[in-house]
Amino acid sequence: MAKDGDNFATTRRKVLFGAGGLLATAQLPAAHAVEIGREQVTDAPVSDKTQQRQPFHGLHQPGIVTPRPAAGMVAAFHVLAKSPTEVERLFRLLTERIAFLMQGGAPPQLDDKLPPADSGLLGPDIPPDNLTMTVSLGASFFEQRSWLAAHRPVQLSRMAASPNDALDADLCHGDLLLQISSNTPDTNIHALRDILKNLPDLMVLRWKQEGSVPVLPPKPDGSHETARNFLGFRDGTANPDANDKALMDRIVWVTAESGEPQWAVAGSYQVVRIIRNFVERWDRTPLGEQERIIGRRKASGAPFGGKVEADLPDYAGDPEGTITPLDAHIRLANKRSKGSDANLILRRPFNYSNGVSKSGQLEQGLLFICYQADLEKGFITVQRQLDGEPLEEYIKPIGGGFFYALPGARDERDFLGRTLLEAAGHQMAGTRT
Amino acid sequence: MKPSRILSTSLFAFAVLAGSSGARAEVSPLDLVGPIADYKIYVSENLEKLVADTRQFTDAVKAGDLDKAKSLFGSTRMSYEAIEPIAELFSDLDASIDSRADDHEKAEKDPGFTGFHRIEYGLFAENSTKDLAPFADKLMADVTDLNKRITDLTLPPEKVVGGAAVLMEEVAATKISGEEDRYSHTDLWDFKANFDGSRKIFDLVRPLIEKDEGDFITKVSANFDKVDETLGKYKTAEGYELYDKLSEDDRAVLAAAVNTLAEDLSTLRGKLGLN
């Protein structure tokens, strides 16, 4: 929509928000000055968050315990890089592009007889806009490179179909997955196009799915609420606290004690599921049944027997399921027993909407993403507990896969995947060890 | 859905009925006993026919009689489609009897792809009965098992009443497009059975709300009539025309009727005070 006015819109953004903008205002001719006060139809919507920036370097990759912004995307690739040298080039180039895109700035100016270095869709000065990009590898990445086969994370497998799944082969698996999230869909698309333009010989796109999170106004007391999914329910209430480092070390991050290869320490198992929701049918389901299926009140998000979202359901005091049905989604997913602590996962989902099915119904649902240190105890166990749940009448998983999110790039001299290449005995020049 | 869930919801529904906490207290749980018993008879009759028809159909497949097997495919499915909300209560059998290629990651090549549509694929897409005998045997065994399991089942009232809407949801979500019988294009036979099955439930409980819900009953009946009229245009001596004959306009008429019936019938449980 705003494509026609990209240049103009960018100028305005700088005028309104850029540090140099105020100066520019003073220099603008009078005709422009009038326009500034009066919004035009094709003016870009404004945001004061375009300069939000997440750190790229660190022990872990960004985009995992990073608070989920409004727009997300996953893109799965077939990787052509086969030899250690090619894979090193792939990892280094990915690292370089991600570091640049998350930092923001001006791409190089080329001779105008050549195609430009950047798509330009965010203007000549790329804002970071809270972007994170997270790189993960599928089981096939290891299987198809004999020199890496012995270094596959122990639990990394090709996602098998659960009983209610109707997996579409064109929306499943992949050698490498990029999770891209930021404040706007445009920033994510810009990042994806940058990757496609810069790594054409190393990987090809297989499938992608974009999603969003409904935005809420800030609360006066500074507290936060869980976002709603397309079923209209709050989703993520019981998520473990991502600010609790010790908890994340136990639930999310692979550590030296995890029984995984040493190179994988500080990485995490990532599960992606494209879960279609039959929203027309859901909207025709009595409210009471919707709430019994989920296990929470729809308006408040409170559990049965509670008043507010933060209240905890008391399953121990409700063994027969008279308060929260035994087959309610939240009860099957998280039993809240002593042993079920081991099955906690960190969810980071987005809602997706794709158009219309052959039958004329909305193709939309949940782009489910979660992270865990132990895939079997995490997602696989939780999904097994959910198999056969009443919610299945209204949902149909159609795609996704299992991946391993690489450890972070520690600093400017490091790159994503270095520890894996070192473990495989690949000799590299000029890197820290 | 797992049978354990049926049990728990059915107990729950009865508990609520007994507490008469429904929005329409004038319909008492006892009023539903008759309609539910009548529906059980309807289900039994359809199951009997399903077993007999499936026997004929699978015998033809195994005898290598391609033309006969093809001609029996559409009609054999009708008694299954008419009672689908009940047949689907056993998710394992529903998957092995009626799953479609796109329910499986490897589609037609997937070893989990069995049942009516696997045989349909062989007969109509590959134009052969070759290698279909094991699928025929499995289908016959599954249908026999389904008959036995449903005979032993106490039908939960909210499942029966809810079934009227569920049938419309099925048509709206995955059938109106002609995806269900994509190799044989006998979708209109399925439609007819789905609508008949839905209307049967509606007709059985209709006397209970006739007094208070006159407008609702008139509207729903009119939509069922519209569907009958539209499908009637495609009636043939043996059954129905192939799906490709359905005109764009009639498809839209059916889609709108299905959506409206789904919306209206989704209130039927609540109108009867059922949870």
Interface probe, candidates B7, B169, B272, chain A, greatest A C-beta count within 10 A: B169
Structure tokens that stand for B227 in this block: 């569907």
Alpha helices in A252-406 (DSSP H): 279-283, 287-294, 329-333, 381-386
Any A CB within 8 A of B133 CB:
no
C-beta atoms surrounding A13 within 10 Å? 21
Place of tokens 């990759």: A61
- A115 interface with B at CB cutoff 8 Å: no
Residue ranges of chain B with per-residue pLDDT less than 70: 1-26
List of chain B residues whose C-beta atoms are within 8 Å of the C-beta of residue A326: 8
Cα distance between residue A419 and residue A105, in whole Å: 29
Sort out which chain B residues have CB atoms less than 8 A from A281's CB and list them. 169, 172-173, 262
Cα distance between the two ends of chain B: 18
Collapsing DSSP states into helix, strand and coil, what is residue B42?
helix
pTM, entire model? 0.89
What pLDDT score was predicted for residue B9? 41
State the DSSP code for A219.
Answer: P
- B225 min Cα distance to partner chain A (Å): 22
Per-residue pLDDT at A338 = 87
Distance between CA atoms of B100 and B231, rounded to whole angstroms?
24
Q: B34: distance to nearest CA of chain A, Å? A: 24
Pick from B103, B105, B270: which is nearest to A286 by CB?
B270
Out of B9, B172, B263, whose CB is closest to A359?
Answer: B172
Query: What per-residue confidence (pLDDT) applies to A176?
Result: 98
In B, which residues are within 8 Å of A361 by CB distance? 172-173
pLDDT at site A35: 53
Question: Residue A160 corresponds to which tokens in the numbers above?
Answer: 């098998």
The label of the residue with tokens 């609702």 reads B216
What pLDDT does A432 receive?
A: 52
A361/B172 Cβ within 8 A: yes
pLDDT the model gives residue B28: 83
Q: SS3 for A155-185, per residue?
A: CCCCCCCCCCCCCCHHHECCCEEEEEEECCH
Contact criterion met (CB below 8 Å) for A332 and A385:
yes
DSSP string, A362-378: EEEEEEEEEEES-TIII
- CA dist A35 and B111 (Å) reads 66
Nearest to residue A213, comparing CAs of A352, A347, A74? Answer: A352
B51 shares contact with chain A (CB less than 8 Å):
no
Q: What is the predicted pLDDT for the residue at A106?
A: 97
CB proximity list for B167: less than 8 A, separation 6 or greater: B84, B85, B194, B195, B197, B198
Contacts of B12 in chain A (CB under 8 A): 325
Detail the DSSP E strand segments found in chain B: none
Please tell me whether residue B264 adopts helix, strand or coil conformation.
helix
Answer whether B259 sits within 8 Å of A280, measured CB to CB.
yes
CB of B165 less than 8 A from some CB of A: yes
CA angle B236, B238, B241 (to 5 degrees): 45
Residue with tokens 């749940």: A389
Show pLDDT as tens, one digit a residue, over chain A (433 residues). 444 444 444 444 444 444 444 444 445 455 555 455 788 999 999 999 999 999 999 999 999 999 999 999 999 999 999 999 999 999 999 999 999 999 999 999 999 999 999 999 999 999 999 999 999 999 999 999 999 999 999 999 999 999 999 999 999 999 999 999 999 999 999 999 999 999 999 999 999 999 999 999 999 998 888 999 999 999 998 999 999 999 999 999 999 999 999 999 999 999 999 999 999 999 999 999 999 999 999 999 999 999 999 999 999 999 999 999 999 999 999 999 988 999 999 999 999 999 999 999 999 999 999 999 999 999 999 999 999 999 999 999 999 999 999 999 999 999 999 999 999 999 987 655 4
